[in-house]
């Protein structure tokens, strides 16, 4: 068999070109993979903040012996030992619409992470179409129907096409990965905000409940004062008619009675409004919600575990949310910087086309196209530079807000410690006053029995005794409410965990950036994305 040298040369040349093509394609792919490891923008470092070693105002209260392992239960409201209160909090956690809205916002943030993660992978689409076109003999030029500028051919033509196309934007400069990083950190901030909303609702329920119970006692106390003042007014008016009392004394007695009546109305308004607020928190209309009065309600003030100040940075939802927001802003700097570099998109399309479906999928009817697309902005009048400046300024703003949030957190805890500390002293003082007034009232009763004191003297002393008891009970209520505020300012059983956050970052569907000392109670709460 004789071989044509020209043919051999032609074949060899094609083989060489084929090897070079494979080598170039492999080199291009390797470069793309290598460049895909690049990520523009600064890597995030947690902003430094000044953290005190101890709390200032806790000295007299807990001897400044903060326990580093101290932790609040996620069902902290059970420390107050009230079954009605426990039921109200649990109902609110299940039905409150603010929590439902925050939970929905958190799910939106998780979906954003999923959407951004999908951008790392190719997009594959498929299309199959069929058409039947008829052209009359009088048509001399093809119209848009034939999708051709060639002269039309009379008759009927069929066309069946099946195509599959793929497009993949290579993340050369880390823009997509920075966007994913930003969305994950925003989701973590949203997670902290959800925890904050739950804690806010819990604290609001407990505070309103204690205010309502304070109203129950005050209403009974003021009602008794009204009865006594009314009796004193009757006695004063009788003495005035007999000439034993002046008109001024009658006016004073009338004023005292009117003042008590006015204060009673104010207290009833507050009590009713507290009940309405609890209804809204529980997710029901106020018209169908009522809490039976309990004037004898005991205000239990538990010892709140006080950890180190540094622990506050992981246990305050607003601090965590502000820090995660700053982290998300830092990642967006890389997204803005990547806009200065060209984008590489690999695209491919292949399929078959024929005039009958039966013969569509055969080798002679195949068609395909393959090629990269490298595109970049040449001139934008400084728009990209402005975008980078904007993201850096936003990061600086978020860092400043984070540091201010930390300072505010320390201040709020110190305020709560100060309040609890001084209210305890005030409670002891009012308890001492009450004890002495009980002795005075007993002495006045004895004098009345022996005829050494008048009924009006006894009633006046009873008023003093009632006011002393009311001052003590109001202080106990304020102390209980201050302990609730302290629990809220300490984070209320929620805690950020960096290790869990790191593991969650590897999976866009995870939300394990927070932990609690009572996971069972958390699992029982309806509407939570952590169930």
Give mean pLDDT, residues 158-180.
90
DSSP string, 25-77: HHHHHHHHHHHTT---SPPP-PPP----SS-STTHHHHTT---TT----TTGG
Poorest-confidence range of 21-35, 208-222, 404-418, 438-452?
Answer: 21-35
Mean model confidence pLDDT for the chain:
83
- What is the DSSP secondary structure assignment for residue 301, as one 8-state letter? -
Interval 95-118: pLDDT, tens: 999 999 999 999 999 999 999 999
Helical axes 317-338 vs 383-449, angle rounded to 10°: 170
**Domain 70-120+171-224+269-301+321-341+380-531 matches domain 124-170+346-375 at the CATH topology level:** no
Give mean pLDDT, residues 153-167.
85
Establish how many alpha carbons lie within 13 A of residue 28's alpha carbon, considering only the half-sphere containing its beta carbon: 14
DSSP three-state, residue 34 = helix
Give the CA dihedral 518, 520, 524, 530, nearest 10 degrees. Answer: 80
**440, containing H or E segment:** helix 383-449
- CA max distance for the chain: 154
Give mean pLDDT, residues 159-168.
90
Interval 271-283: pLDDT, tens: 999 999 999 999 9
> Which of 13, 27, 127, 16 lies closest to 372, judged by CA?
27
Sheet of strand 123-135, all strands in order from the earlier edge strand to the far edge? 123-135, 155-170, 343-354, 366-375
Residues 6+ apart with CB under 8 A from 221: 466, 467, 469, 470, 473
Asked if the model's pLDDT at residue 469 lies above 90, the reply is yes
How many helices, marked H, and strands, marked E, lie in the chain? 12, 6
CB 250 within 8 A of CB 240: yes
CB 502 within 8 A of CB 523: no
Interval 235-266: pLDDT, tens: 999 999 999 989 999 999 999 999 999 999 99
What's the Cα-to-Cα distance from 488 to each of 24, 217, 407, 485, 501, rounded to whole Å? 63, 26, 16, 5, 23
Strand partners, 516: 494
What pLDDT sits at residue 145?
54
What's the Cα-to-Cα distance from 472 to each of 217, 421, 500, 514, rounded to whole Å? 11, 16, 46, 40
* Structure token digits, residue 222: 């003021």
Give mean pLDDT, residues 19-48.
62
What pLDDT sits at residue 427?
96
Higher pLDDT, residue 89 or 519:
89
Establish how many alpha carbons lie within 13 A of residue 314's alpha carbon, considering only the half-sphere containing its beta carbon: 20
Give mean pLDDT, residues 7-23.
41
Q: Kindly report the number of other CB atoms within 10 A of residue 436's CB atom.
A: 11
- What is the DSSP secondary structure assignment for residue 296, as one 8-state letter? T
Structural fold of domain 124-170+346-375: Outer membrane efflux proteins (OEP) (2.20.200)
Domain extents for the chain? 70-120+171-224+269-301+321-341+380-531, 124-170+346-375
Phi/psi region, residue 493 (left: phi>0; alpha: psi -120 to 50; beta: rest), is left
* CATH number, domain 70-120+171-224+269-301+321-341+380-531: 1.20.1600.10
Whole-angstrom Cα distance, residue 477 to residue 266? 17
Q: At 456, is the pLDDT very low, low, confident or very high (cuts 50, 70, 90)?
A: very high
Asked if the model's pLDDT at residue 179 lies above 60, the reply is yes
Strand partners, 371: 347
Whole-angstrom Cα distance, residue 192 to residue 526? 17
Interval 60-96: pLDDT, tens: 444 345 555 567 888 999 999 999 999 999 999 999 9
Tokens 């595109």 sit on residue: 375
**203, containing H or E segment:** helix 175-241
What pLDDT sits at residue 223?
97
Cα 76 from chain centre: 19
């Amino acid at each position: 068999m004789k071989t044509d040298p020209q043919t051999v040369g032609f074949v060899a040349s094609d083989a060489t070109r084929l090897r070079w093509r494979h080598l170039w394609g492999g080199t291009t792919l390797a470069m793309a993979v290598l460049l895909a490891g690049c990520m523009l923008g600064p890597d995030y470092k947690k902003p430094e903040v000044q953290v005190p070693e101890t709390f200032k105002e806790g000295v007299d209260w807990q001897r400044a012996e903060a326990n580093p392992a101290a932790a609040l239960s996620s069902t902290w409201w059970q420390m107050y030992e009230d079954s009605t209160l426990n039921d109200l909090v649990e109902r609110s956690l299940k039905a409150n619409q603010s929590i439902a809205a925050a939970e929905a916002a958190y799910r939106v943030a998780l979906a954003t992470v999923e959407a951004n993660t999908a951008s790392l992978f190719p997009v594959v689409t498929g299309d199959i179409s069929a058409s039947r076109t008829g052209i009359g003999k009088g048509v001399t030029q093809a119209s848009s129907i034939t999708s051709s500028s060639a002269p039309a051919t009379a008759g009927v033509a069929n066309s069946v096409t099946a195509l599959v196309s793929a497009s993949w934007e290579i993340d050369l400069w880390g823009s997509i990965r920075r966007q994913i990083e930003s969305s994950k950190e925003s989701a973590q901030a949203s997670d902290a905000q959800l925890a904050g909303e739950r804690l806010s609702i819990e604290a609001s329920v407990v505070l309103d409940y204690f205010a309502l119970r304070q109203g129950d006692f005050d209403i009974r106390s003021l009602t008794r004062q009204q009865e006594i003042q009314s009796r004193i007014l009757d006695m004063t008016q009788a003495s005035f008619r007999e000439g034993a009392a002046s008109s001024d004394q009658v006016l004073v007695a009338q004023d005292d009675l009117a003042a008590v009546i006015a204060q009673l109305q104010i207290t009833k308004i507050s009590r009713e409004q507290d009940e309405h607020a609890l209804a809204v928190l529980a997710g029901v209309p106020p018209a169908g919600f009522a809490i039976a009065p309990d004037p004898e309600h005991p205000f239990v003030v538990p010892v709140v575990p006080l950890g180190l100040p540094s622990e506050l940075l992981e246990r305050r939802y607003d601090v965590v949310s502000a820090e995660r927001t700053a982290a998300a802003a830092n990642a967006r700097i890389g997204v803005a910087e990547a806009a200065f570099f060209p984008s590489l998109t690999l695209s491919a399309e292949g399929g078959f086309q024929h005039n009958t479906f039966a013969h569509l999928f055969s080798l002679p009817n195949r068609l395909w196209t393959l090629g990269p697309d490298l595109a970049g902005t040449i001139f934008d009048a400084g728009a990209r530079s402005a975008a980078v400046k904007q993201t850096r300024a936003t990061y600086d703003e978020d860092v400043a807000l984070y540091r201010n949030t930390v300072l505010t957190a320390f201040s709020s805890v110190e305020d709560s410690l100060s309040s609890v500390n001084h209210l305890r002293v005030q409670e002891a003082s009012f308890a001492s006053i009450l004890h002495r007034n009980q002795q005075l009232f007993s002495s006045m009763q004895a004098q009345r029995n022996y005829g050494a004191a008048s009924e009006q003297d006894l009633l006046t002393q009873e008023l003093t005794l009632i006011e002393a008891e009311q001052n003590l009970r109001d202080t106990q209520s304020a102390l209980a409410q201050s302990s609730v505020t302290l629990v809220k300012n300490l984070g209320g059983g929620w805690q950020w965990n960096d290790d869990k956050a790191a593991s969650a970052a590897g999976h866009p569907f995870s939300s394990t950036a927070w932990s609690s000392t009572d996971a069972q109670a958390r699992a029982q709460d309806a509407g939570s994305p952590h169930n």
